[in-house]
Amino acid sequence: MREVKISRALKHLNIVSVYDVDDDAATGRTFIVMEFIQGVPLGSLHTQKILSFQETVTLVGHVANALDYAAQAGVVHRDIKPANILVDVDSLTPKLVDFGVARLQGANMTQAQAILGTPHYMSPEQWRGEVVDGRSDLFSLGVVLYELLTSQKAFPGESLPAIMTAALAPNTPVPPADVRPGVIPPALSRVVMRALAKNPNDRFARGIEMEKALQKALTQPQATEPPQAPTTPRLATSAPRATPTPSVQQTPGFSSGGLALKVNEPAQPVEQDAEEGTTRRSRKGGKKSSLIAGLMLVVLPAVGWLGWPIAKATLMPTVAIHLGVLRQVQQGTPSVLKQGDSLLPGDRMAVYVKPKDTTYVYVLRVSSSGEVTRLFPSPAVTPQENPVLAGTELWLPAPNSVRGWFSLNDKAGQSEVIVIATSDPIRRLSDPIGLLSLIGSVGPGTDEKLLSNLPQLQAKLTVGQHRGSFAVQGGSITTPTHLLEGNGLGLYYRFQLNQL
C-alpha cells in the first residue's frame, strides 16, 4: 500500500502512473490499476536496439529529471536499477517503476531495513544504514549509466561483502573513459564519476543538475594531445677556416622538450675528391631507401590490423543464427522462452542454435549467483565441435549425441544465456590478419582467455539484432525461434531469464 500512496502522489512523464487500488471481492486480494507500458526493462533494451551515446545520455537524463521531481516531493526511490526502468523501444521514453521500498526523505532506517535495495546499485550510505536523500538515487543512477557505457558492473562481486567492499572503497570504480579509452568521451566519464562520488556532498545536488551536465558533456570537444613542434632541420653555417676545432652551440630540442647539443663540423677544403662526394651521396640514398622500406614493413601491417576488422564487419556477409532457449513441456512441443521470462524451480531447459552459414558458436550460461558455465564447445555437453556447419542444428545438452535437458538448481534471481557467433575462431578478434598466429603468440589458448573476459569480448563484437521470430525451415523445432543478426565479424547476445 505504501507504493500505491507514493506513486499516486507523483505525476511525471517518466514515472509510472497509478490510477486506483481496490480489493477483489472474489479472492479478497488487493489489486493495483496502473499505467500500461509498452516497453522492456532497461537491462534488456540492448537485445533489441543499440543506443548511441546521445540516446543513452538523453534516456538517463529523463530518469534523472524524474528523480529530481520525486526528491522535490520528498520521496527517495532507494532501488534504482535497470529492471525498474521500463523503456519504450521505439520512442526510448523511460518510465520509473516499483516504489515498493521508497521512503520519505529524512526517514531513518533500522538495521533490518538497511539492506533494502539491490546490492550492485546501492549507495555507500545505504550500505552503512544511514539516512538517505535524493543524492543516493542519483548515485544508483550513475551505476546504471556506468554499466550502460562500459558493459560491466561498477562494483562487481559475487557476495554481499565483496560488493559492499567495492562500493565503499575510496578509489572505485575505474573511470569509464579508462575502461574504454578513445570510445567514451572524457567529459561524459567525469559526469559519471561525479554521480558516483562516495561523499553525497560531492555529487550532484539535484537530478536536474545531472541531466544538464550529461547533455553538456556530449557538446564538449574531446581533449586532444597538444600538437608537437615541427622538427624542421636547421641549416648549419660553415665555421671559419681559422677555427680548427669543432664549435658546440645549444639549440632548442623539440622531441625531448629540453636542450640539444649541436656540433658544427669544421669546414672542409673546397677541393674535395669527386669520388668521395659521390660515395657519400650513395650511402645517404641507401640509408633513405632502407628507412622507407622499414617504415613500410611497420605501416602496412598496422593499416591491415586496424582496417581489416572494419572492412570485414561492413563488407562481408552478416553472421545470422536462429536461437531458441527452450523449456521442457511434459507433452507436446517445447516452449520457446522470450527475453525476461521466468523459470520455476524444477523447470528444465535446453539451448537450440542453427546458423545460416558455417559459423563458430560459443554458448555460456551465467547463473543467478554469477557462476559462468561453458555450454559449447564442451565435450561434456555435446561431442559437436566448431565450426557449426551451415544449416546444422546445435542442441545443448546432447551427451553422446542424444538430446537432453539441463536441470536448474539456481537460487532466485536473474540468469543469462550468452551466445557468441563469429565468422572465424574468436582468437582472430585479437589477431585480425593472422600475424600473431604465425609466430605462435595467438592460438587456441587465446580463445579461452577471451571467453573468460566477457566484457572485453562484448566490446569487440556488435550486439545481435533481433529480426523477429520464425519457424526454422527444415528444422526439428516447429515453434518459431529468434532470428539474430550481427555484422561480418559476428554477434554477441545476452538472453536474460528470471529464476523464481
Confidence band for 408, pLDDT divided at 50, 70 and 90: confident
Q: Answer whether residue 276 shows pLDDT above 70.
A: no
Compute the residue count for the chain. 500
Q: Is the model's pTM score more than 0.85? A: no
Q: Answer whether 357's CB lies under 8 Å from 319's CB.
A: yes
| One-letter amino acid for residue 300 of the chain | L
If you search the block for the grid coordinates 511525471, which residue do you land on? 12
Q: Answer whether residue 390 shows pLDDT above 90.
A: no
- Record the cell numbers describing residue 471, joined without a space: 519457424
- Domain locations in the chain as residue ranges: 2-217, 320-499
Instruction: Give the integer Cα–Cα distance in Å for 420 and 428.
Output: 14
Q: Answer whether 34's CB lies under 8 Å from 18's CB.
A: yes
The fold adopted by the segment(s) 2-217 is Transferase(Phosphotransferase); domain 1 (1.10.510)
Taking the CA atoms of residue 464, residue 469, residue 471 and residue 477 in that order, the dihedral angle to the nearest 10 degrees is 70
Per-residue pLDDT tens over the stretch 412-455: 888 899 999 988 888 777 755 455 555 565 566 777 787 888 88
How many CB atoms within 10 Å of residue 1?
A: 8
How many CB atoms within 10 Å of residue 272?
A: 10
Mean pLDDT of 285-303: 50
Residue 308: what pLDDT? Answer: 46
Q: Which residues are catalytic?
A: 79
- Record the cell numbers describing residue 409, joined without a space: 538448481
Per-residue pLDDT tens over the stretch 325-355: 998 887 667 889 998 888 888 888 999 999 9
